[in-house]
Structure 1
């Protein structure tokens, strides 16, 4: 009897894996109601786990928002950033721009609950999309209806992850990088407002505050303050600094006010303001009108979340976000 039960359990797992796998790239239309029939409690589960995690460690909220960006910007929003490396494949986690990513354990916990409630149904990519949306709301930012139905890639691309937007990029490079992903300058400027929360390490802002990258568009007192926690020299350790000094854990429009004051932490932040024209007008509008920023940010997040894996990508619904089925 025990052997029979074990055989049925093994068969059931194989069937779940087979149902979860697909050979196409998930090129169907996303919908906020995608799981209404198959897993109606998905959003409640994600929100409950997120509320618990953020209450005990608020810094996990901006970490998950960043994780979603880094997933979508490498071959679309396909959960590839969540995969561990194996003897046969590298992991995007090992790319230099991803070295400081965190929050993976939160996605794993949400996924574990969903696998209990709705086995082989909700993709890791959708879990991450919902978690990032809830992270923003829990920090005081906007909420929005998140289209769902993404699939999980069976492969990762470490090389592409090495080419994520750099903290040293200028405006032209940033516009080009976002345009390649179907996002325009307005989307880019709104999405950059995610830096109204969270922290950056010294290695990412050292060149700006010491002027070694040629960036002179910086308030001298701000540069001096940041140098106190970030010693000169590439071999020197340095501390973390908030993107927004005034409200570092509140999702508001203070980021844009900092740019106007030439107090953007990264060179790529400050690159959004100071050249004049329509770009400066956009930053100034967001600095005055927090509601307009919130609306445009939510719209841009949906647009970014719609970036699909490239044609021919093999996808599935992973049972474990760290590994393929």
Structure 2
């Protein structure tokens, strides 16, 4: 019954990451990453990305969620290697043209940051690091916790639409989400063929039905504070007001109910777990110099 979903809230995209990804340990500093990777080669890299992101978010605050979502969709397909930024070619349809990724935004921010970095430090800062740094800065700009991440990722050379089938469905239940090897879900569309989730509050279900009746372009925020990083999402689940099946199921599933309760009552605990999870996600299948490169242009391989 659902119509098209609007831009996702920062929390919604990463709700399971805090626990599902926290169980994954790729090893800190993997593949030569370090916090000070650009200290000598491009000391202003962090500041250039941060200033670019902040300028864009001042004009359009909804891009904060978009940048976080882009990082998520990048890392969960072929690892954190900026494969999501590669354009399709005559002989290959890239990840960004998958139905699950068509609503991604923020590519121009990546291009802007890359251009500036190439001017200052040509051939040094990878697009993969730009994506990771931009997501971090977007979270902080929106009121979320600051977290530092090791840098030195290389850019991947593979980006294929068929790989995006690994993104979990927004109709997954709690058990399916937990079994997913890397968690998360693509939230680009509601499925119009599904019935109302019986776990939803009946009045909230009526609100969603009314929104959807206005057409496929209707937007439904995934929580009441869509441009602010906070724990409102979890409080909504307590009120049986989760928009997607994969949202409300977190409260109806026994394995995750205590997590929802904890984050709803303690935002600081959620922020801490989120920091740890983002650090671990940023290390998924990181490419090094032997299987990656530093692209001159984020949209195409060298």
TM-score band (shorter)?
0.7 to 0.9
Question: How far apart are the structure 2 equivalents of 1:320 and 1:310?
Answer: 17
1:258 aligns with 2:247: no
Question: How far apart are the structure 1 equivalents of 2:168 and 2:282?
Answer: 17
The equivalent position to 2:48 in structure 1, one of 45, 48, 63, is: 45
- CA displacement 1:27-68 (0-9 Å, x = unmatched): 613211111111110111011111110001111110010000
Q: CA deviation at 1:275?
A: 2.5
* Pairwise CA RMSD: 2.3
| Contact map agreement 1:153 1:313 (CA 8 A) in 2 | no
Give the secondary-structure state (helix, strand or coil) at the position aligned to 2:190. Answer: helix
| Contact map agreement 2:32 2:288 (CA 8 A) in 1 | no
Give the secondary-structure state (helix, strand or coil) at the position aligned to 2:166. Answer: coil
Q: Which residue of structure 2 lines up, in the alignment, with residue 15 of structure 1?
A: none
Question: How far apart are the structure 2 equivalents of 1:61 and 1:83?
Answer: 21
| Length-normalised TM-score, structure 2 | 0.85
Structure with more contact order per residue of length (Cα contacts < 8 Å, sep ≥ 6): 2
1:57 aligns with 2:60: yes
Question: Closer, same or farther in 2 for the Cα pair 1:249/1:207, shift >3 Å?
Answer: farther
Q: CA deviation at 1:256?
A: 0.6
Identify unmatched segments of 5+ residues in structure 1.
1-25, 182-187
- CA displacement 1:53-104 (0-9 Å, x = unmatched): 0001111110010000000000100000100011122210111111111111
1:204 aligns with 2:183: no
Q: Which residue of structure 1 lines up, in the alignment, with residue 210 of structure 2?
A: 228
Structure 1 residues 1-325: aligned runs within 5 Å: 28-177=31-180, 180-181=181-182, 203-204=189-190, 206=192, 210-211=195-196, 215-231=197-213, 236-245=215-224, 247-276=225-254, 278-308=255-285, 314-325=291-302
| Contact map agreement 1:206 1:230 (CA 8 A) in 2 | no
Question: Closer, same or farther in 2 for the Cα pair 1:132/1:28, shift >3 Å?
Answer: same
Question: How far apart are the structure 2 equivalents of 1:318 and 1:312?
Answer: 12
Task: Say how many residue pairs are matched.
Answer: 274
Q: Which moved more, 1:144-153 or 1:123-132?
A: 144-153
Question: Closer, same or farther in 2 for the Cα pair 1:310/1:51, shift >3 Å?
Answer: closer
